Chains A and B, each alone.
Chain A
Amino acid sequence: MEEKEGTKMGTDEKKRNRGEELKREQKRNSNSKKGEAKLSVDEFFKEIDIKKYPVTTSTVHTDVYSLIVLLEFSVGVWLLLLINLWYIDVIFKEHFYWLLLLFPLSLYGDIWFFVFSIAVFAMVLRQILVIFHKPKEGIFPINGKEFKWYKLRYWTIYFPIWLGRALPLPWVDFIIAKLLGSKIGRNVCLYDSWMDVELIDVGHHVMTSLNTSILSHSIVGDKFIQLRVVLERDSITGAQSVVAPGTHLEPGAILGANCTTYYTQRLKRDLIHVGTPASMTFPIKASPTYVIKSKEDDILLKQKLKRARENKRPNNKENKEDNKENKEDNKEIKEDKENNSKDKEEES
Chain B
Amino acid sequence: MSSPTSLKMSHPLFIDPTIRRRHLITYIFHIWLSVLPVILIAIITFKHLLVLPLWLIILVSPLYILGLYYILIICSIIIMKIGIMFLNLRHKPREGIFARDIKNKDYKYLSLRNYARLFPSYLIASTPFPWFRTYLFYRAFGIKMDNKGIHWDCWITPEMVTLGKNVIIGHNSLILSHIIENDKLIIKRVILEDNVTIGTKVEIMPGTIIGKNTIVNGGSYTLPLQKLEANAVYSGGPARKVATLDELKIKIREEK
Please list the residues of chain A having a beta carbon within 8 angstroms of any beta carbon in chain B.
Answer: 47-49, 52-62, 66, 69-70, 73-74, 77-78, 81-82, 85, 142, 154, 157-159, 161-163, 165-166, 192-194, 210-211, 213, 215, 219-223, 240-242, 244, 258-260, 276-277
Chain B residue nearest to A77 in the complex (CB)? B62
Complex Cα spacing A61 to B169, Å: 11
**A78→B58 contact, CB < 8 A:** yes
By a CB distance below 8 angstroms, the chain A residues around B19 are: none
Chain A residue nearest to B213 in the complex (CB)? A221
**B148→A57 contact, CB < 8 A:** no
Please list the residues of chain B having a beta carbon within 8 angstroms of any beta carbon in chain A.
Answer: 1-3, 5-6, 8-9, 54, 58-59, 61-63, 65-66, 126, 128-131, 133, 148, 150, 152-153, 168-172, 197-201, 215-220, 233, 235-237, 242-243, 245, 247-254
**B2→A166 contact, CB < 8 A:** yes
By a CB distance below 8 angstroms, the chain B residues around A58 are: 1, 171
**B152→A59 contact, CB < 8 A:** yes
**B219→A259 contact, CB < 8 A:** yes
In the assembled complex, how far is the CB of residue A260 from the closest CB belonging to chain B, in whole angstroms? Answer: 4
In the assembled complex, how far is the CB of residue A75 from the closest CB belonging to chain B, in whole angstroms? Answer: 8
Q: A62-B131, A69-B128 are in contact. Are A193 and B150 (CB under 8 A)?
A: no
Complex Cα spacing A260 to B235, Å: 10
By a CB distance below 8 angstroms, the chain B residues around A220 are: 197, 215, 250
Q: A59-B153, A81-B58, A193-B5 are in contact. Are A54 and B253 (CB under 8 A)?
A: no
**B2→A56 contact, CB < 8 A:** no
**A56→B1 contact, CB < 8 A:** no
Complex Cα spacing A48 to B243, Å: 11
Complex Cα spacing A258 to B238, Å: 12
Complex Cα spacing A85 to B128, Å: 26
Complex Cα spacing A213 to B1, Å: 11
**A66→B130 contact, CB < 8 A:** yes
Q: A49-B248, A57-B200, A260-B219 are in contact. Are A142 and B128 (CB under 8 A)?
A: no
**B235→A56 contact, CB < 8 A:** no
**A211→B237 contact, CB < 8 A:** no
By a CB distance below 8 angstroms, the chain A residues around B200 are: 55-57, 194, 213, 215, 242
Complex Cα spacing A99 to B199, Å: 52
Complex Cα spacing A165 to B235, Å: 29
**A52→B218 contact, CB < 8 A:** no
**A211→B6 contact, CB < 8 A:** yes
**Residue from A61, A70, A161 within 8 A of B1 (CB atoms):** A161
**B131→A66 contact, CB < 8 A:** yes
**B218→A55 contact, CB < 8 A:** yes
Complex Cα spacing A85 to B50, Å: 13
By a CB distance below 8 angstroms, the chain A residues around B201 are: 211, 213, 240, 242
Q: A69-B128, A77-B61, A81-B61 are in contact. Are A54 and B237 (CB under 8 A)?
A: no
**A73→B219 contact, CB < 8 A:** no
Chain A residue nearest to B63 in the complex (CB)? A74
**A57→B2 contact, CB < 8 A:** no
Complex Cα spacing A48 to B201, Å: 24
**A276→B235 contact, CB < 8 A:** yes
Q: A77-B61, A242-B200 are in contact. Are A163 and B128 (CB under 8 A)?
A: yes
**Residue from B62, B199, B254 within 8 A of A57 (CB atoms):** B199
Q: A69-B129, A157-B1, A221-B250 are in contact. Are A56 and B219 (CB under 8 A)?
A: no
Q: A47-B249, A74-B63, A258-B219 are in contact. List 10 more A-B contacts (CB 8 A).
A: A59-B170, A66-B130, A69-B129, A81-B61, A194-B172, A221-B245, A222-B252, A240-B219, A260-B219, A276-B235
